[in-house]
Amino acid sequence: MRFFFNNGFDQYDRIESKNVNLINVNYVNLPFSNLSKRISQDRYINANLNLIEAREHSFGEYDLIHCHFFTSARVGFEYFNRKGRKYVITEHASDLTKSLDFYTDDYIRSVYNKASTVVAVSNRLKKELHRVVGIELEKISVIPNGVDTEKFSIVNGAKCRTGEIKKVLFIGHLIERKGVFELVKVVHNLIANNINVYLTIIGVGELSGEILNYLKVHNLSEFIEIKGGIPNHELPSEIHKHDLLVLPSQKESFGVVVVEAGACGLPAIVSRCGGPEDIIEEEFLGSTYSLDDINGLHDSLIEVLSKFESYSSTMIREHTVNKYSWDVVAEKILSLYEVKTS
């Protein structure tokens, strides 16, 4: 079978590995505004359509086009109308209504409903696709994102680390939706109550300056560190330095950093905001809390830190590998391909 994958690879120019030929799509991306964004998306779609047609002319027809996010789903839809090729959509959007606000309801429904199937990365997103777009639940499969379990692995033994100061890690954009400022304030409260905890923040964003100022005003620099952005290949070594991951987002469709940390044997505290609660489905993996509970994050941190010695890195990693390794996830995707191209 031959497949065309669309979107999600902008950081690469051209990669060829095993049976994968990855080609960057060149198009002009205009400075941001609502109008320019729509124009840029249209150019992106046309560039992809031309590329697919050219490659089919040279190498033969694709059996399936796999599209990620709605913009790329438009490519599959338009090529289906042009050539009749089947397409599959994987939706990752944490805010589905926001990602669809440029298009009419009829067009949105046509794009999703013409697909051979739609994949959601979490159960909450599946329900949202049904509610917002009107896709029949039977047409939506749930296949989570995967993690490279060779890259993200345990290096320091089978038990979670046992230092006196517990090192907490946040990875993500420093924006309001990620809840990072709330985490800073909660950790500040713990420190003020003589709880030995250290917070590392990895990421960049519009709240960087405000958080740095907060740390300066409250003399927290020796307890909370902002490291800024780091390359993905450096994440495993950073995760290994920590004891616990926290993802306090207001909305997430999945939570890749949670499974990356889990593959390294770390428990996690996550908000029940859409996707992460699917990952922390058992107590031995960490803790979840409701966004409606104003003390939820604080209480979860206290709970997890108080029983930290009970967490087993080996068990956490084993669960993560069995459910989220690329071998497992890829098998689910390939099975889907077999069904939809038969």
pLDDT tens for each residue of 74-123: 999 999 999 999 999 999 998 887 767 778 889 999 999 999 999 999 99
- Where the chain has pLDDT below 50, the residues are 8-16, 157-159
> Given this model, what pLDDT does residue 10 score?
45
Rg over CA atoms, the chain: 22
The verdict on 293 and 173 lying in the same domain is: yes
Q: Could you give the number of structural domains in the chain?
A: 2
Residue 154 within a domain: no
Biggest distance spanned by C-alpha atoms of the chain: 68
pTM, two decimal places:
0.89
- pLDDT tens-place string over residues 272-311: 999 999 999 999 999 999 999 999 999 999 999 999 999 9
Orientation angle between helical segments 180-192 and 208-217, nearest 10 degrees: 10
Q: Three-class SS of residue 214?
A: helix
The verdict on 89 and 232 lying in the same domain is: no
> Given this model, what pLDDT does residue 3 score?
55
CATH of the domain at 125: 3.40.50.2000
> Given this model, what pLDDT does residue 103 score?
82
The verdict on 319 and 185 lying in the same domain is: yes
The verdict on 134 and 194 lying in the same domain is: no
Residue 280 within a domain: yes
Sign of the alpha-carbon dihedral angle for 94, 95, 97, 101:
negative
The verdict on 52 and 195 lying in the same domain is: no
> Given this model, what pLDDT does residue 19 score?
67
Residue 58: domain span = 3-145+326-341
Q: Three-class SS of residue 184?
A: helix
> Given this model, what pLDDT does residue 21 score?
72
